[in-house]
Amino acid sequence: MSLKLPIYLDHAATTPCDPRVVEAMLPFFTETFGNPGSRNHRFGWEAEAGVDAAREQVAQLIGADEKEIVFTSGSTESNNLAIKGAAYLYEKNPAGSGKPRGHIITAIHEHKAVLDPCKRLQKEGFDVTFLEPGRDGIITAEMVEAAMRDDTILVTVMWANNEIGTINEVPRIGALCHRREVIFHTDATQWVGKMPTDVEKDQVDLLSLSGHKMYGPKGVGALYVRRRRPRVRLQALVDGGGQERGFRPGTLNVTGIVGLGKAAQIARAEMDADADRLFRLRKKLEDTITGQLDSTQVNGHRERRLPHITNISFGFVEGESLMMAIKEIACSSGSACTSASLEPSYVLKSLGVGDDLAHSSLRLSLGRWTTEEQIDYTADAIVKSVRKLRLLSPLYDMHKEGIDLSKVQWAQH
Ligand SMILES: *Cc1c(COP(=O)(O)O)cnc(C)c1O
């Protein structure tokens, strides 16, 4: 069989829908199209049965009770509801009192869907601490504990990072928060469905997950909201028909929810085998690249990482040229296009990766249908492209001659 190009290695951005998920969704567009809120006829009941089954499947994936699952449009909404909804309800001082409304702890290399709600709360009178990770990218329970104050109301730390795949100390942070009676939210978008999750054992109070990061459809996700020990309350962010116990009103996205449920069921059954296989493939990819090229580094902690994500920096190549050279491999770079310029990734910067290296970094994320053939092709293409680009680099020549570039006095322009 010949290899089809381009090769998709950007599963941390989104995953394809599993065909079994699509199959489960299809009847809910046509035959079973009812509104689950319609209590008086069979159309409504059948749609509701589909939603109930999905709620059970999502709950089982994370060790929750189905009453603790609130369906949303995805992790961005789940994060907003968790963070703002908890902050408004648990505030210690009212707005305008001259005192901070409450203290929130998060980290500087969280996803924007956590950082932006936190920044909004900061503008509205809450104090926010943005923890800085070490070079390994990990947030530990000790870092969180050192930042805790008497008025801390919420800790929000992601389970696994979307750019580098590093895994924060979630069960230990959960235990700390429970001891201190602080609400603990985790953005588990990259974690759930890939790694075993048990909100009881891991002591999580609020957890965000998203369909399209786990082989389900886009535009659907869930927020887990703990109901006992402690019972977590939230202020809803929109007003309406009272669906989802008032946390998230609006007619349910039945097809999406059914798809998310099916994706959760498949993930629960297959995550161990998927993780083993992807770990071996990623290792082969990393070992080949770092074995054949000098001046490369894998970013983030070497062991505490998701099995399917790698983030590699290549010295002495220009990021944009590298992306151009490997056009047939769909992956992410360490640069984010903002309106005016190419900004180096704030996640890599937070680990102390310099701007140049951050620009010449690639995030390669593998998925359920990634093959060994694709990995071999990718490793080979990257090695060849980097070698070719370095042939054009005077800096690389100097480096090879043993000149310490950090000590070179450059001529003034
Ligand atoms: C993708 C992602 C999100 C956003 O999820 P949506 O469902 O697309 O809104 C939030 N957090 C992390 C860590 C993600 O990877």
- Identify the pLDDT of residue 354: 92
> What pTM value is reported for the model?
0.96
- Identify the pLDDT of residue 342: 78
Find the 13 Cα to ligand 1 centroid distance in Å: 8
Does residue 401 lie within any of the structural domains? no
- Tens of pLDDT, residues 158-212: 999 999 999 999 999 999 999 999 999 999 999 999 999 999 999 999 999 999 9
Band (319; pLDDT cuts 50, 70, 90): confident
Residue 31: give the domain boundaries: 19-267
Same domain flag for 200 and 341: no
What CATH number does the domain containing 288 carry? 3.90.1150.10
Provide mean pLDDT across the span 152-159: 98
Atom of ligand 1 at shortest range from CA of 213: 1
- Identify the pLDDT of residue 147: 98
What CATH number does the domain containing 240 carry? 3.40.640.10
Same domain flag for 245 and 339: no
Same domain flag for 258 and 299: no
Does residue 407 lie within any of the structural domains? no
Provide mean pLDDT across the span 58-77: 98
Does residue 146 lie within any of the structural domains? yes
Nearest CA to ligand 1 atom 14: 189
Does residue 242 lie within any of the structural domains? yes
Atom of ligand 1 at shortest range from CA of 12: 15
- Tens of pLDDT, residues 105-132: 999 999 999 999 999 999 999 999 999 9
Same domain flag for 253 and 178: yes
Domain boundary among 267, 289, 306: 267
Residues 366 and 374: their CA atoms lie apart, in Å, by 10
- Identify the pLDDT of residue 1: 59
- Identify the pLDDT of residue 407: 75
Same domain flag for 387 and 338: yes
Nearest CA to ligand 1 atom 9: 76
Q: Which of 17, 72, 75 to mutate to test the pocket of ligand 1 (most atoms within 8 A of CB)?
A: 75
Domain boundary among 267, 284, 311: 267
- Tens of pLDDT, residues 6-50: 999 999 999 999 999 999 999 999 999 999 999 999 999 999 999
Same domain flag for 371 and 240: no
Band (337; pLDDT cuts 50, 70, 90): low
Does residue 409 lie within any of the structural domains? no
Same domain flag for 117 and 253: yes
Same domain flag for 220 and 108: yes
Told to judge if 118 belongs to the known catalytic residues of this protein, a careful annotator would answer no
Find the 14 Cα to ligand 1 centroid distance in Å: 9
- Identify the pLDDT of residue 406: 76
Domain boundary among 219, 243, 267: 267
Task: Output Rg (C-alpha) for the chain, integer angstroms.
Answer: 23
Q: Which of 71, 187, 192 to mutate to test the pocket of ligand 1 (most atoms within 8 A of CB)?
A: 187
Same domain flag for 256 and 338: no
Q: Which of 10, 73, 76 to mutate to test the pocket of ligand 1 (most atoms within 8 A of CB)?
A: 76
Residues 373 and 3: their CA atoms lie apart, in Å, by 8
Band (281; pLDDT cuts 50, 70, 90): very high
Work out the percent of the chain whose per-residue pLDDT is above 70.
97
Work out the percent of the chain whose per-residue pLDDT is above 90.
90
Number of domains in the chain: 2
Does residue 406 lie within any of the structural domains? no
Does residue 412 lie within any of the structural domains? no
Q: Is the confidence at residue 412, as pLDDT, over 70?
A: no
Provide mean pLDDT across the span 323-331: 95
Find the 321 Cα to ligand 1 centroid distance in Å: 28
- Identify the pLDDT of residue 296: 97
Same domain flag for 244 and 256: yes
Atom of ligand 1 at shortest range from CA of 14: 1
- Identify the pLDDT of residue 155: 98
Distance of CA 123 to the CA centre of its chain: 25
Q: Which residues pair with 311 in a beta bridge?
A: 363
Average pLDDT, the chain: 95
- Identify the pLDDT of residue 339: 54
- Identify the pLDDT of residue 404: 83
Same domain flag for 54 and 182: yes
Same domain flag for 327 and 207: no
Nearest CA to ligand 1 atom 5: 75
Q: Is the confidence at residue 72, as pLDDT, over 90?
A: yes
Does residue 238 lie within any of the structural domains? yes
Q: Identify which of 148, 144, 63, 57 has the alpha carbon closest to the alpha carbon of residue 107.
A: 144
